[in-house]
């Protein structure tokens, strides 16, 4: 025999079980998959790919106090420029960290207003580099991956003058 206090508990358990069994049918709807915390779906960048295609002098720094000196050093590298090419799918052709062969990368935006360069996928991805600043003449990027960021530092690209 079930006492009246226990009957109430059993009824609550029966209701909870019934609700739990109906949840799988609700979750099979076309709702989007959850997004990892801190990672956003890909969205357009505020910088266009054609704005960074070209010839660039390249140098890097770790200490922010070295930025001006590094920009001057990058300008001096225009004798042997780093070429950012136009991709066939609207991206840019650049190297990923530790990769010998350049590949087409995308410019990606984020809800926080930051821009990234990297392969297709969530933003920021481990292979992405954040565009720290860009004024049309000087582009500064930093790799998202902590190990690559330490090894490469802040990459300074200074636009080379067009060939005469």
pTM for the model = 0.74
91 in the same domain as 21: no
151 in the same domain as 100: yes
61 in the same domain as 98: yes
Kind of pairing between the strands at 129-134 and 115-118: antiparallel
Domain-located, residue 21: yes
Domain-located, residue 38: no
Domain-located, residue 36: no
55 in the same domain as 18: no
CB 85 within 8 A of CB 92: yes
Per-residue pLDDT of 17-53, as tens digits, reads: 444 444 444 444 444 454 445 665 669 999 999 999 9
13 in the same domain as 54: no
Structural domain harbouring 72: 43-159
pLDDT band at 158 (very low <50, low <70, confident <90, very high): very high
51 in the same domain as 25: no
Quick one: CA torsion of 132, 97, 160, 46, rounded to 10 degrees?
Answer: -40
137 in the same domain as 67: yes
Kindly tell me the burial class for residue 125, based on how many C-beta atoms sit within 10 Å of its own C-beta (0-12, 13-18, 19 or more).
Answer: middle
What would the two tokens of residue 80 be?
């042997």
**Residue 118's closest CA among 108, 132, 131, 109?**
108
Per-residue pLDDT of 89-148, as tens digits, reads: 999 999 999 999 999 999 999 999 999 999 999 999 999 999 999 999 999 999 999 999
The total number of structural domains that make up the chain: 2
Please determine, for residue 61, whether its predicted confidence score (pLDDT) is greater than 70: yes
85 in the same domain as 4: no
pLDDT band at 2 (very low <50, low <70, confident <90, very high): low
Q: What letters, b where the CB count within 10 A reaches 16 and e where it falls short, cover 83-112?
A: ebeebeeebbbbebbeeeebebbbbbbbee
């Amino acid at each position: 025999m079930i006492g009246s206090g226990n009957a109430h508990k059993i009824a609550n358990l029966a209701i909870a079980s019934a609700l739990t069994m109906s949840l799988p049918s609700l979750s099979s709807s076309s709702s989007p998959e959850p997004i990892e915390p801190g990672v956003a779906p890909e969205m357009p960048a505020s910088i266009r790919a054609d704005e960074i295609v070209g010839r660039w002098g390249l140098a890097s720094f770790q200490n922010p106090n070295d930025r001006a000196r590094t920009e001057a050093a990058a300008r001096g590298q225009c004798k042997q420029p780093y070429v950012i090419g136009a991709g066939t799918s609207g991206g840019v052709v650049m190297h990923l960290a530790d990769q010998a062969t350049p590949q087409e990368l995308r410019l990606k935006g984020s809800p926080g207003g930051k821009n990234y360069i990297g392969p297709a996928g969530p933003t920021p991805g481990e292979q992405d580099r954040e565009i720290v600043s860009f004024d049309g003449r000087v582009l500064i990027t930093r790799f998202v991956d902590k190990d690559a960021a330490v090894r490469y530092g802040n990459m300074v690209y200074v636009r080379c003058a067009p060939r005469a």
